[in-house]
């Protein structure tokens, strides 16, 4: 299989610090995590179990055993980081659920809240709300039907309200219909932030087929997955996801609690438009992953935006010649916004990063590099 992670790429991914884990470093995300699961356990008066599992998981646990279709696009190497043909870096903390549920059949719980926080690994676009290794929190309530005869939509809505009240007090939120393979009556949770609806989680009633395959036939449940990075951004009003990991002392000192973020002097952004010849399949997610994986200055890339795409046949021969474009390629106009978190970039540094992005993505046989004055 092609597109397997190199040993270095795997090592780099596994060396990233998990901000939810107090054994690695102190961070306000741990307080947020605790507030959420304590609120649910108090409301339900149930037992709870916090589990940290390996980020390296069998492909079938991440997809097949959670009900994802075999032909689903999500498992494509464009979006999933493969270690071998059968092992991947998990794309969701839910990947641990099938084995955990199997373990519960030995001593089935009456009412148990499963808490699964940790890093997940995506091939994703680059902007202020996305990163390649976000933190996720899975919350699964597993109940014996003798205790609660039927888990209902009303109970699901109560779960959402409890989480949102403690995680993002006084913020406006909404739910929309969103089916998931491992839930029934699936919902998406969005929060209004700076006049923009931002997705922070998905949830639903735990699918009966997922419980049955673990032989928990007398149980039902609720399942919720939350994006902890986004909850932190909204809770503290942090403008850029990269700030969560910043080591700049004035920023880092503010990441130890859930108090509102006080902006450190904003550094100017530098914008570069880049015209590229690329394969027809290139998209923002693949671009984002390529930049994060191969560009040394990737931390300076604030956002990437595809402004336009033009097929080979829609361009004049002069454009083909200028770019060294081949049939079957497309011309992509990419806008790159650059901003260092701790200092102002020089024009020379910006051009170096611009040329690095260009060199990674351009597939034409002629190059147009930015030159410093």
Residue 340: the pLDDT is: 87
* Strand-strand pairing, 47-50 and 111-119: parallel
Report how far residue 37's alpha carbon sits from residue 41's, in angstroms, rounded to the nearest whole number. 6
Token pair for 132: 């390649």
The full DSSP string for 265-289 is: -PPPPEEEEEEEEEETT--HHHHHH
- Report whether 59 contacts 81 (CB < 8 A): no
The reported pTM is 0.87
Tens digit of each residue's pLDDT, the chain (373 residues): 568 999 999 999 999 999 999 999 999 999 999 999 999 999 999 999 999 999 999 999 999 999 999 887 788 887 899 999 999 999 999 999 999 999 999 999 999 999 999 999 988 888 889 888 999 999 999 999 998 888 999 999 999 999 999 999 999 999 999 999 999 999 999 999 999 999 999 999 999 999 999 999 999 999 999 999 999 999 999 999 999 999 888 999 999 999 999 988 677 889 999 999 999 988 888 898 889 888 989 999 999 999 999 999 999 999 899 888 889 899 999 999 998 888 889 999 999 999 999 999 999 888 888 876 5
Please report which residue ranges of 302-346 form alpha helices under DSSP H: 317-323
Report how far residue 223's alpha carbon sits from residue 299's, in angstroms, rounded to the nearest whole number. 34
Residue 211: the pLDDT is: 96
Domains observed in the chain: 7-236 (3.30.930.10), 270-361 (3.30.70.380)
- Report whether 338 contacts 300 (CB < 8 A): yes
Residues 6+ apart with CB under 8 A from 321: none
H or E element at residue 30: helix 28-44
Closest of 34, 98, 24 to residue 228, by C-alpha: 34
- Report whether 268 contacts 111 (CB < 8 A): no
């Amino acid at each position: 299989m092609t597109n397997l992670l190199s040993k270095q790429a795997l090592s780099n991914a596994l060396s990233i610090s998990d901000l939810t884990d107090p054994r690695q470093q102190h961070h306000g995300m741990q307080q947020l995590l605790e507030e959420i699961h304590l609120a649910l356990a108090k409301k339900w008066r149930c037992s709870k179990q916090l589990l940290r599992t390996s980020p390296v998981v069998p492909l079938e646990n991440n997809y097949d055993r959670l009900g994802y279709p075999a032909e689903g696009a999500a498992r494509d190497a464009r979006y999933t980081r493969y270690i071998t043909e059968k092992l991947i870096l998990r794309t969701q903390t839910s990947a641990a659920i099938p084995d955990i549920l199997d373990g519960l059949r030995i001593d089935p719980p009456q009412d148990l809240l499963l808490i699964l926080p940790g890093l997940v690994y995506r091939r994703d676009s680059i902007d202020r709300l996305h990163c390649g290794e976000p933190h996720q929190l899975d919350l699964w309530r597993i109940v014996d039907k003798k205790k609660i005869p039927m888990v209902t939509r009303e109970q699901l809505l109560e779960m959402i309200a409890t989480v949102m009240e403690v995680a993002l007090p006084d913020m406006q939120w909404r739910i929309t219909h969103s089916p998931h393979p491992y839930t029934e009556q699936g919902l998406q949770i969005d929060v209004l932030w700076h006049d923009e609806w931002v997705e922070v989680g998905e949830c639903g009633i735990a699918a009966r087929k997922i419980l049955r395959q673990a032989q928990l036939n007398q149980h039902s449940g609720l399942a919720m997955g939350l994006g902890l990075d986004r909850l932190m951004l909204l809770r503290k009003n942090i403008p850029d996801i990269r700030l969560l990991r910043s080591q700049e002392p004035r920023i880092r000192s503010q990441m130890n609690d859930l108090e509102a973020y006080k902006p450190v002097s904003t550094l100017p952004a530098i914008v570069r438009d880049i015209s590229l010849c690329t394969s027809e399949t290139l998209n923002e997610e693949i671009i984002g992953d390529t930049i994060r994986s191969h560009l040394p200055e990737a931390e300076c890339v604030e956002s990437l935006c595809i402004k336009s795409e033009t097929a080979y046949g829609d361009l004049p021969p002069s454009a083909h010649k200028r770019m060294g474009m081949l049939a079957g390629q497309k011309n992509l106009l990419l806008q790159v916004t650059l901003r260092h978190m701790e200092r102002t970039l020089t024009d020379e540094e910006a051009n170096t990063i611009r040329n690095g992005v260009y060199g990674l993505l351009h597939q034409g046989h002629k190059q147009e590099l930015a030159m410093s004055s």
